[in-house]
Amino acid sequence: MSGEEKGTYCTVSFSPDGVATDVVRGATVLEACRSAGIAIDAVCGGTGKCGRCKVRPEGSFDPGDTSTLTSEERRSGIVLACDATVTGDLEVEVLPRSRIRKHQILTRTPEAPVARLSPWLKKVLLELPRATLHDNTADFERIQRTLGDRDLKMPIVTLRNMPHVLRKGDWTVTATVADLEGRGEITRLEPGDQCGSLLGLAVDIGTTTVVGQLIDLLTGDVLASASEYNRQISKGEDVIARMMYGEEEGFEELTDLARETVNSVIERLLDDVSRGREEPLTTHDLAGASIAGNTIMTHFFVGLDTRFIRLEPYVPVAHHMPPRSGYDLKMDIHPSSEVLLFPSRAGYLGGDVVADVLASGMHRSNDVTMLIDVGTNGEIVLGCDEWLVSCACSAGPAFEGGEVSCGMRAMHGAIDRIRVNEDLTTSYHVIGDESPNGICGSGLIDLVAEMYEHGVIDRKARIQALPTDRVKRTDEGLEFVVEHKDRLGKGATADLVVTDADLQNILRTKAAIFGAATVLLKKMGKELDDLDSLVIAGGFGNHLDIDRAVSIGMFPDIPREKYRFIGNGALEGARLALLSSEMRNDLVEIFEEMTYIELSVDDDFYDEFSSSLFIPHTDLEKFPSFRERKLPEGTV
């Protein structure tokens, strides 16, 4: 580094990580964290809105705006990494709750048996006549002639390697033939007989996580599963923040981050399956991939502009993405491999929900089924084998750690189950069996239900001024102490609390989901009693206590035996499409039959949403299981 550069750059060290990085003077501490590879929770993308990226620096820095911090935190030297700027060398302590830690990611699904394996890929052993002066047909035409198909194509990448492979195999080769959407191609040639192995990839590209499975296409077996945080998180927690970042900074970076995450998952899968093998698998052994994701993630992954999805009337570039090659998408699979991308039904209802429907089988049943997938968006499908209607509601990120001061993702240190005792103390379970750092979505639903049950909140989710040290009054209003600071473990800077504002965010989220579900039923002339089955998809739903979710009015109050969980339906749908031509045909039919209703301009939704802003609802007739319960004192 030159003398001039030394005057421009500063060294930032991180404890207790033992790593350091050089950043330009004036960079934010958050930028220094990213440069050093420190996974820090900045759900707002570094705009200063979430107040999560708390650090304690020592050295030369400008603290920036600290108005979102408590006076106690400011006195102890805590600042927000996104606001604090580096003015010289410094050492930074990243607080425990500000770190992104090991996440509880659902990688397995209840795998449905495939009646007849029919992937779009197959391997064919070719014993070609040797080229001679009397038979000097070109190599590719020799293969076409042997297969009896002169319309068969071959990508240029495969064509380049072909003459060397033919001669290395002494004219006996294995051809991988792909036939997706009727386009027959030889995507790979291998010397000798390699028909005993054919591998594919199923992927769910989620806003928060990316999950993949390595599939044996000859047997249908799942050989390995792997997952990783979507690296786009560093640019914003939700899709809106990322789209805005893409418009301001360029979406190419978001495309690169999505592809890097997918490739990291692929690397983990190959490492897992290769362990103990004489010849490790390589990326070239992956012959094809099936990918499901929401509309925005699919656009970013392919490299398409998302700005018109964000703006009314919320129009994507395309619903159907034509099959792409691994080379086109810069995936670490065979460059000529064909990649199936699930179609998106609308700007905010994507291929992941289409995959959910495929995995649920609701499109093949004459039962009236509702499917709910809860994330930053709430996506709902209602229907049977004759019709399907769908919608998406902006549920907000409350159940994924956003917009709730004590909220966090389902990772180590998160409370995922909680009970309020008679003396208003709490009992809880923490993911990873550690000291609690916050509460994830399933824990928040438990907490609201328990607080209502014990009279801590009323039907509008307002904290009551009870004579207990568990209820505190602040300048912003009342808050309930979930756990006192001295019981939170090393590094805790304040009590773990839920505030009136937090509870209103949770109330709006649950109201949006129930309101959207009610609107779909109303549009089709159905009542809650008409539901034969209710399918919950996604990792979040897999950890819910349904009785408590119903008790706060988030899900319909129908017999609990009608509820069914399918886990990561997007991943399961991707697996089914990879293995079965019948499922790929169903995929097309689901897309064509599904009617989408735009709730943002629907008066019925506004009415239903408003009616749902109570616990459990303004109309207790909709919740017969709770209608006879004695309401806590002070409720409305």
Q: What is the pLDDT of residues 45-58, one digit of tens each?
A: 677 777 778 899 99
CA angle, residues 494, 496, 500, in degrees to nearest 5:
110
pLDDT number for residue 558: 96
Least trusted range by pLDDT, from 54-68, 178-192, 479-493:
479-493
Give the residue from 542, 608, 122, 186 showing the smallest Cα distance to 374.
Answer: 542
Task: Assess whether pLDDT exceeds 70 at residue 107.
Answer: no
Residue 470 has pLDDT above 80, yes or no: yes
Q: Residue 55 in contact with residue 93, Cβ under 8 Å?
A: yes
133 pLDDT higher than 60? yes
Spell out the CATH class of 200-351.
alpha beta
**Where, residue-wise, is CATH 3.30.420.480 in the chain?**
200-351
Which pLDDT score, from 0 to 100, does residue 132 have? 94
Choose the CATH number for 358-395+510-627 among 3.40.50.1820, 3.50.50.60, 3.30.420.40, 3.40.309.10.
3.30.420.40
584-592: average pLDDT: 96
Residue-averaged pLDDT of the chain? 90
Question: Which of residues 149 and 574 earns the better pLDDT score?
Answer: 574
CATH code of the region 3-98: 3.10.20.30
Secondary structure string (H, E, C) spanning 82-120? CCCEEEEEEEEEECHHHECCCECCCCCCCCCCCCCCCCC
Given a cut of 50, whether residue 217 has pLDDT beyond it is: yes
pLDDT for 589 beyond 70? yes
Please, which pLDDT band fits residue 367 given cuts at 50, 70 and 90?
A: very high
pLDDT at position 43 is 66
Lowest mean pLDDT, pick from 45-54, 382-391, 563-572? 45-54
The mean pLDDT of 17-40, rounded to a whole number, is: 90
Per-residue pLDDT for 575 more than 90? yes
CB burial of 55-68 (b: ≥16 within 10 Å; e: otherwise) equals bbbeeebebbebee
DSSP label of 411: B
pLDDT (tens digit per residue) in 451-469: 999 999 999 999 999 999 9
Q: CATH 3.10.20.880 residue ranges in the chain? A: 121-191
CATH number given to 121-191:
3.10.20.880
| Range 142-154 average pLDDT | 91
pLDDT at 53: 87
Q: What is the mean pLDDT of residues 620-632?
A: 74
Does 338 have pLDDT greater than 90?
A: yes
Residue 535's pLDDT is what? 97
- In whole angstroms, what is the distance from residue 615 CA to residue 554 CA? 9
